[in-house]
Amino acid sequence: MRLILLCLICMTLPVLAQDSIVFGVHSNTAPLEWRNNGVDQGFNIELMNRIGQLTNKRIIVRRKSFQQLLHDVHNPNSDIDVITVVSPVNMDRQLAQSDPIYATHAKAYTLQGKALINNWADLVGKRVAIKKGAFVDVYLSDKLQKFDRVDVDLYETGFQLLIKNQVDVVIAESFVARRLQPMYPSVRSSSDALIYGAFNFVANATKAEQMNQINDALRQLKLSGEYDLLVNKWFGTGREKVDLTFTEKRLFALAIVVAFISAAGLVYTGFISASLRRHAKALNAELTQRKLIEAEISELSQQFQSVLDGIPNGVTIVNQALQHLWSNDNNIHLLDSAEFYYIDNDVFNLKTAVFNVLSSQTSFTADMRYQQQFWQLQLHPIAYDQVVILLEESTEQHRLRQANEEASRLASLGELSAGIAHEINNPTGLIVHAVSLFSAAMKDLTPAASHYQKQNPFWLIAGLQPDVAIKELQYSCGSIEEGAKRISRIVNDLKRYAMPHIADEYTRVCLNDVVQVAQRLTANQTKAHQVSIILSALSPCINGDAQQLHQVLINLIQNACNASAAKQAEIVIETSVQDDKAILSIVDNGCGMNSATLKRITEPFFTTRRNEGGSGLGLSVCSKIIKEHQGEMQILSTLGHGTRIRLTFALAH
């Protein structure tokens, strides 16, 4: 029995005498270090086993957590001799370190849909998960970090925090991240390599001699080519080692599902194929017919579009939200212009107009103004929430209508004035002649009345004292004479209003001279007002009658003074030349006029000063004189903000 025990001891002595290397493993990442059916395997483990064979040392694999392995490798008394870690390129750890084993890198990982990380600057202000003790941690140890660092024990912990939105970015080593991504489909790679590193064997500094032996064996494997065979085995092109058992089960289940789907697909495909063949002929015939119809519709649509694009009027279709559904783009800019308003100066709002038309489902037509042009606007409902807008310029029609109305007034006034002028002038002349006689007689009777009053102190004339009565008679004679002259002036204005124009008598007239003459003749009316005269240095001249032009400007100045009677008036009279036209304008800051007054301002006998003695013929005569001079009169006025009258004439050449 003792002999047998002695033999066993002798047989085990070589084994016990053989040194061992405890290889600490923490990873489950294929193909570096992983476990299949309870057997430790992978590139690092097989490489370490070959190194053990070359150094005549037994390799013992012991699995621990990464943090425990880092702690143990720094402890000279630990049970771990060697571990495999990644070190940044050109940076050595403070341990006994082998030659590089296999290159790797780390990059940024984020959730799907987040912005890409192009460089370290893109991490500023973000929450970044870093594995404590990993080569990323070593790389950043002496660098300024402008992001919020979150330390984790494992890269997988970082991915879990990323899913929970507790970090924004995870910087992970590529082999580990490649294994984790299938388990976290919402995580994606978001950058190129940010850090390059290499796998190394490291040991406690007290085991430097052991690390030298490992390095010698590693170099021998590289020189012999056996290292390359291991690399090709575990990292061959297009291949990555995986858990074969799990993969086989998953592929088998997937194959069964695919088989059932394929069988059902074959049956369904046969049924569909038969049905499709039956309908193919019918569909081909229908398709041919539809192509013919579409060609006809397309041709008709193009013809219709050409017609709409060719008409000068604007045509636009809008919905209730004022979205342009279609337009021929003719004059459509008017609808959004602030200068496009109703002919009575009311503000135009397209949204309000469209809403009213859709609410009432009735068409709407209005006359509009835009600068010096007149337009007709039409809105027609064509659907529950759509309106067609038509724009047509009516400037010429408006002018013709105005000319026709004025011609009608002139004709009627001419007939009236011709009939009554003679009848009014005769009695007016008698009144003036009689008043002159009464005035002369009162002068002669005044001494006689004074003499008689001395003889008869109680003598009265019409119940008044003789001297008072004579003064009243003299005042009454003056009033009668003034009234008769006013009647005569009105009759003369009527005759002038209906008088035919004689163009051959026109001469060259300077508008600057007209302004200066009118200013002198109205000096008495304008002395209480502030009058500014701005004369053009070009001295604009026109062909016309100077006396008639004086009459026009004097009338306009008097109207400006009357409009500003209640406050200190500011009147500006200006001459200018624009585009071969002579311009004469007069602006006041008086009471202004509303739209109703503006419509009738040039009508004969229309006046707002009837109680103050206005005849209503002043602007009528002015309008007639301006038209006889081939000019235009534009009146712009706002109630409470004054009036601007602009007279435009052709320059004399």
What's the pLDDT tens digit per position in 333-348?
777 787 887 877 788 8
Token digits of residue 625 = 């004189």
pLDDT in tens, 351-369: 888 888 888 888 888 888 8
> Which has more pLDDT, 574 or 275?
574
> Which has more pLDDT, 87 or 18?
87
- Shortest CA distance to 593 belongs to which of 525, 560, 641? 641
- The confidence score (pLDDT) of residue 15 equals 41
For the chain, give the mean pLDDT.
81
Phi, psi (deg, nearest 5) at residue 249: -65, -45
Is residue 210 over pLDDT 60?
yes
Q: What is the mean pLDDT of residues 212-232?
A: 91
Token digits of residue 55 = 């150094």
Q: What is the mean pLDDT of residues 517-535?
A: 83
Query: CA 490: distance to chain centroid?
Result: 61
Is residue 565 over pLDDT 70?
no
What confidence category does residue 56 fall into, taking pLDDT thresholds of 50, 70 and 90? very high
- The confidence score (pLDDT) of residue 248 equals 58
- Shortest CA distance to 498 belongs to which of 422, 421, 413, 408? 413
Query: What CA–CA distance (Å, rounded) separates 647 from 586?
Result: 9
Within 8 A by CB and 6+ apart from 200, the residues are: 84, 85, 86, 87, 93, 97, 98, 99, 100, 101
Is residue 241 over pLDDT 60?
no
What confidence category does residue 477 fall into, taking pLDDT thresholds of 50, 70 and 90? confident
Within 8 A by CB and 6+ apart from 378, the residues are: 363, 364, 365, 389, 390, 391, 392
Cβ distance 81 to 23 under 8 Å?
yes
Q: Read off the amino acid at residue 454.
A: K
Q: Which residues pair with 544 in a beta bridge?
A: 507
Residue bearing tokens 């010429």: 396
Cβ distance 554 to 522 under 8 Å?
yes
Q: What is the mean pLDDT of residues 565-576?
A: 80
- Shortest CA distance to 68 belongs to which of 4, 11, 153? 153
Instruction: Tell me: cis bond preceding 31? Omega within 30 of 0 counts.
Output: yes
What confidence category does residue 581 fall into, taking pLDDT thresholds of 50, 70 and 90? very high
- Shortest CA distance to 597 belongs to which of 563, 646, 553? 563
- The confidence score (pLDDT) of residue 518 equals 84
Query: What CA–CA distance (Å, rounded) separates 640 from 152?
Result: 78
Instruction: State the DSSP H helix or E strand holding residue 648, giving kind and residue range, or none if neither.
Output: strand 642-650
Within 8 A by CB and 6+ apart from 160, the residues are: none
DSSP-derived 3-state class of residue 411: helix
Query: What CA–CA distance (Å, rounded) separates 436 from 434?
Result: 5
Query: What CA–CA distance (Å, rounded) separates 367 from 397?
Result: 11
Q: How many angstroms separate the Cα of 114 from the Cα of each of 108, 110, 193?
A: 12, 7, 18
Is residue 647 over pLDDT 90?
yes
Within 8 A by CB and 6+ apart from 241, the residues are: 30, 31, 34, 42, 234
Half-sphere exposure of 6 (CA within 13 A, CB side): 3
> Which has more pLDDT, 575 or 327?
575
Is residue 206 over pLDDT 50?
yes
**Helix crossing, 618-628 with 466-498: angle to 10°?**
30
Q: Read off the amino acid at residue 218.
A: L
Cβ distance 107 to 192 under 8 Å?
yes
Is residue 13 over pLDDT 80?
no
Is 105 buried (19+), middle (13-18) or exposed (0-12) by CB count in 10 A? middle
How does strand 20-25 pair with strand 58-63? parallel
User: Can you say whether the dihedral through the CA atoms of 225, 227, 230, 235 is positive or negative?
Assistant: negative
Half-sphere exposure of 103 (CA within 13 A, CB side): 5
Q: Give the percent of the chain with pLDDT over 70.
A: 84
- Shortest CA distance to 554 belongs to which of 562, 544, 542? 562
Lowest mean pLDDT among 194-198, 221-225, 471-475: 471-475
- The confidence score (pLDDT) of residue 459 equals 79
pLDDT in tens, 161-178: 999 999 999 999 888 888
Residue bearing tokens 């604009």: 540
What confidence category does residue 58 fall into, taking pLDDT thresholds of 50, 70 and 90? very high
- The confidence score (pLDDT) of residue 9 equals 46
Is residue 286 over pLDDT 50?
yes
Token digits of residue 47 = 């490489």
The structure's pTM equals: 0.38
- The confidence score (pLDDT) of residue 287 equals 86
- How many residues make up the chain in this entry? 653
DSSP-derived 3-state class of residue 466: helix
Is 623 buried (19+), middle (13-18) or exposed (0-12) by CB count in 10 A? buried
Query: What CA–CA distance (Å, rounded) separates 353 from 379?
Result: 8
Token digits of residue 165 = 């939105």
Is residue 245 over pLDDT 60?
no
User: What is the distance in angstroms between the CA of the first residue and the CA of the last residue of the chain?
Assistant: 151
Most confident option among 243-257, 371-385, 478-492, 501-515: 371-385
- The confidence score (pLDDT) of residue 493 equals 58
What confidence category does residue 650 fall into, taking pLDDT thresholds of 50, 70 and 90? very high
> Which has more pLDDT, 640 or 103?
103
Is residue 451 over pLDDT 80?
no
Query: What CA–CA distance (Å, rounded) separates 433 from 485?
Result: 11
Query: What CA–CA distance (Å, rounded) separates 100 from 201?
Result: 8
Alpha helices, H only, 317-460: 350-360, 395-455
- The confidence score (pLDDT) of residue 10 equals 46
Query: CA 308: distance to chain centroid?
Result: 29
Query: What CA–CA distance (Å, rounded) separates 388 from 322?
Result: 11
pLDDT in tens, 295-350: 888 777 776 666 666 666 778 888 888 887 777 777 777 777 878 878 777 888 88
Q: Which residues pair with 41 in a beta bridge?
A: 34
Query: What CA–CA distance (Å, rounded) separates 186 from 198?
Result: 28
- The confidence score (pLDDT) of residue 8 equals 46
- Shortest CA distance to 515 belongs to which of 439, 567, 573, 436? 573
- The confidence score (pLDDT) of residue 395 equals 78
Q: How many angstroms separate the Cα of 578 from the Cα of each of 460, 539, 557, 621, 629?
A: 70, 12, 23, 26, 18
Q: How many angstroms separate the Cα of 155 from the Cα of each of 199, 611, 651?
A: 17, 100, 91
